[in-house]
Structure 1
């Protein structure tokens, strides 16, 4: 007998979410099924109807959405190695991605199908709620930093080579920024991060050598001073207004003049034209592309398991659990719209 599954369904763009039965889908080759114990919410999960059509025009309705998963493996498909039923894991669910586009692979349900190479075991010391904060933010940061079409930095590892280059993370206290700082440090780079002053300690504890007030009128000058004469490896631009500040920063800094933008593609495209005049290359990150190249497995199966186990990598930012059960996810999405700082909202299942 297959387990009984339930999901949080989105009947159509803009409609209210509805909890209802969902089929249990067994894993195909190189897939695993995970019993979901915690999910985190992201802005893309709760878009207004017209923005769903703009951001995810391919999505088939009724849909199940959600990307951030932590739970227990219940079944593995052919060819899966390194995981077995009962293992505690986190994973990036790709049900809303254009190349997958099926409800069975989205996070907001009790049993989800995940791609094996986008799943990482987690240590017993890490709760499911805290583990759930990682996947989408980790994937977005890793895509921007390590894919060759973005910053193309050296990959992280247990004993990375030290680089003289500096990575600037504009928006260091965000979920993506919290992961970008740690990835850069575990790859051997120095990090300068922007944040609000009350989050300076947060970005420093993650590995940033320097923290700069993102709202300071002299932020660009302060970052250039912190970089000094060393080369710039690249900039990750996260959050509203980040491109306005990072283009002149990249134009003036010694070294690499590349910006990987986590801003919506429309904003990035407009800035890209202006940036070219200053010799700056701006690329737009889609946090799902790493599943189709070497970066995804290098992070999720090569780097993350041991880094979490040894404490070299933290699940950050902190999780704030706002409810239990699928019916509480819409509440979490409403709270997310009100804004959060240096934390991520989680629902346990």
Structure 2
């Protein structure tokens, strides 16, 4: 059996170490990719630091990471869209329940991608730029287009002749937010968003009609004013405190659907702490109470609210439509561009643990990337 190098999580809460693992053969609907760049998402250090509680199904050793860019080195029997040597990027789902975390993780030299969650990399993009897309783009698409969330029409679907509805994106400078703005605009919606003053110009450049300072005491009122009485298709809540803020906006502006893509309390101190127990008890108690409070409030207001799982598109019709049709078309016509911009922090598998630590320490309007 051929082998390759991987940055593996040998045990829960252990630092990543470079080891040799078996190189898998692709199944009929898969491609095997030589990974050239991998991006870091908060979920990676959450799994590493709190996986005993948050990802109890995940067995170790495991390879983490969702965002892959590289070139195809083998294709499954039913794959016709890709050829060996072609540059691609896609979403790895190895840490999901029922998946194989050694076959599908991003932090290794060779990884499996499902054909239906993979797109060709245009010549205009570097691997580092392509790697910023997969999880942020997929999560944004789930929030906007899945029927259980906002249920909006996808890009390429004819819009009605009526005035465009407004989509509220609270947290526009996040990875999910930047992609949500671009997808919603391409689908014909007007977007109003939030960002810090530092990032407002970047968020506006992606297509937000108005950008409100989320730190302002009048942020909710400013957002309602930006909506301006127009019909609201729904809101996407990103970042601590965003759920309650979005409920305030929707209750005053008339919207009835909310997609939540963040925990109400950050897990960074818990994930990076020396001990998980008993420090987890007050943190998860706060998360549980905040979630129940927000859910009850949404129900009282008549707002449908649900949490988004970014890789759930793997098992519905939207995933193939997004990755096979929408993403290539938007990249070709320039309506989708890599955002946030890649922040390359190192080269090689030995740099991955430092990259996770860098992401957990905080980045703004950038996505941490390691070149492999």
Calculate the TM-score normalised by the size of structure 1: 0.96
Matches for 1:301-340 after TM superposition, within 5 Å: 301-340=324-363
Please say if 1:283 is aligned against 2:306. yes
Q: Where does structure 1 lack aligned partners over 5 or more consecutive residues?
A: none
SS in 2 for 1:198: coil
Q: Is the 8 A contact 1:28 1:78 kept in 2?
A: yes
2:205 aligns with 205
Deviation readout 1:76-103 (Å, 9 max, x if unpaired): 1011121111111110000001131331
Residue 278 of structure 1 and its aligned partner are, at CA, apart by 1.3
1:78 aligns with 77
Q: Where does structure 2 lack aligned partners over 5 or more consecutive residues?
A: 264-286
What is the distance in 1 between the residues matched to 2:197 and 2:49?
A: 36
Please say if 1:196 is aligned against 2:219. no
Deviation readout 1:112-131 (Å, 9 max, x if unpaired): 01100000001111000011
Residue 269 of structure 1 and its aligned partner are, at CA, apart by 4.4
2:28 aligns with 29
Residue 310 of structure 1 and its aligned partner are, at CA, apart by 2.5
1:248 aligns with 248
1:221 aligns with 221
1:95 aligns with 94
Q: How many residues align?
A: 347
What is the distance in 2 between the residues matched to 1:330 and 1:270?
A: 36
What is the distance in 1 between the residues matched to 2:106 and 2:303?
A: 37
What is the distance in 2 between the residues matched to 1:280 and 1:30?
A: 39
Q: Is the 8 A contact 1:172 1:193 kept in 2?
A: yes
Following TM superposition, the consecutive aligned residue runs of length 4 or more in structure 1 with deviations greater than 6 angstroms are none
In 2 relative to 1, CA 85–338 (structure 1 residues): closer, same or farther, beyond 3 Å?
same
What is the distance in 2 between the residues matched to 1:129 and 1:168?
A: 29
Residue 166 of structure 1 and its aligned partner are, at CA, apart by 0.3
Residue 159 of structure 1 and its aligned partner are, at CA, apart by 7.2
Residue 227 of structure 1 and its aligned partner are, at CA, apart by 1.0
SS in 2 for 1:282: strand
Q: Is the 8 A contact 2:13 2:50 kept in 1?
A: no
Aligned equivalent of 1:300, options 323, 346, 363: 323
Deviation readout 1:38-72 (Å, 9 max, x if unpaired): 00011111137662122211001111110000000
SS in 2 for 1:103: coil
What is the distance in 2 between the residues matched to 1:253 and 1:47?
A: 34
Residue 330 of structure 1 and its aligned partner are, at CA, apart by 0.5
What is the distance in 1 between the residues matched to 2:143 and 2:292?
A: 16
What is the distance in 2 between the residues matched to 1:49 and 1:73?
A: 28
After superposition, the CA RMSD in angstroms is 1.6
What is the distance in 2 between the residues matched to 1:332 and 1:288?
A: 22
SS in 1 for 2:198: helix
SS in 2 for 1:104: coil
What is the distance in 1 between the residues matched to 2:167 and 2:292?
A: 22
Calculate the TM-score normalised by the size of structure 2: 0.90
2:139 aligns with 140
